């Protein structure tokens, strides 16, 4: 697998979701995590900003686990990557369960939530199917230098990344509409994990 494609994949995980929160990176990240945790204990949100922060929080919790997977990928440690992938999968299942049960009275036609659901469904497919197949391919390459990577698996993985990128932008657009409809401004600063992904 070519390194340039790996870094392209990493760049697609730059979160474009924004939320109102503290100023420092550490405080902002902790706030997102707390918002994601709280989403597991709520069902109906009446505050638009809290709902927006909850969706960002659920995604952030996934991205923290993805970051560890990317670090293992950088080291080309297949066993570690498999372990980290299991952690990512568990977080996706947990976040998806929380997302499915929450709603907001101010989310017209559930537009914002449905955009996030589509993204999380994409996460489910990519990390439970595409990533598993790619790791199997990487394992075969490491064990046999003459092994030729299955093009179909590689193409499917790339297509999954492209779909994910498109859905990330869709969620961002839905959030912007949601903010406008509910008269609040979004924090336009970078997500606190962006720098770590970019440094990989």
**133-186 pLDDT, tens per residue?**
999 998 898 888 888 888 999 899 889 989 988 998 999 999 999 999 999 987
To the nearest whole percent, how much of the chain has pLDDT over 90? Answer: 60
Cβ(69)–Cβ(105) below 8 Å? no
| pTM to 2 decimal places | 0.85
For residue 16, pLDDT over 70 is answered with no
- Burial, 149: exposed, middle or buried (Cβ in 10 Å; 0-12, 13-18, 19+)? middle
pLDDT at 14: 40
- Average pLDDT along the chain: 86
**23-53 pLDDT, tens per residue?**
688 888 899 999 999 998 999 999 999 999 9
Mean pLDDT lowest for which of 4-13, 69-78, 122-131?
4-13
193 vs 167 pLDDT, higher one:
167
Which DSSP string do the residues of 171-182 spell out, in sequence order?
HHHHHHHHHHHT
CA distances from 123 to 62, 119, 144, 156, 159 (A): 9, 6, 30, 14, 13
Mean pLDDT, to the nearest integer, of 79-94?
Answer: 96
Domain ranges of the chain: 3-12+20-185
Distance of alpha carbon 78 from alpha carbon 148, whole angstroms: 17
CA distances from 85 to 32, 79, 91, 122 (A): 22, 10, 10, 15
- Report the candidate in 61, 49, 63 with the shortest Cα–Cα distance to residue 181: 49
pLDDT at 90: 97
To the nearest whole percent, how much of the chain has pLDDT over 70? Answer: 87
């Amino acid at each position: 697998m070519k390194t340039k494609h790996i870094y392209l994949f990493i760049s697609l995980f730059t979160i474009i979701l924004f939320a109102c929160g503290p100023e420092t990176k550490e405080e902002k990240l902790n706030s997102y995590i707390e918002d994601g945790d709280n989403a597991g204990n709520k069902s109906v949100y009446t505050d638009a900003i809290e709902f927006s922060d909850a969706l960002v929080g659920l995604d952030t919790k996934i991205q923290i686990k993805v970051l560890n997977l990317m670090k293992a990928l950088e080291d080309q440690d297949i066993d570690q990557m498999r372990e980290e992938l299991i952690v990512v999968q568990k977080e996706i299942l947990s976040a998806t369960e929380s997302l499915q049960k929450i709603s907001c009275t101010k989310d017209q036609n559930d537009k914002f939530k449905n955009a996030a659901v589509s993204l999380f469904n994409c996460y489910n497919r990519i990390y439970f199917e595409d990533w598993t197949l790619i790791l199997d391919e990487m394992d075969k390459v490491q064990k046999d230098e003459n092994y030729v990577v299955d093009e179909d698996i590689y193409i499917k993985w790339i297509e999954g990344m492209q779909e994910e990128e498109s859905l990330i932008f869709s969620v961002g657009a839905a959030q912007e509409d949601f903010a406008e409809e509910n008269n609040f401004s979004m924090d336009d600063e970078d997500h606190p994990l962006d720098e770590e992904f970019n440094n990989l």
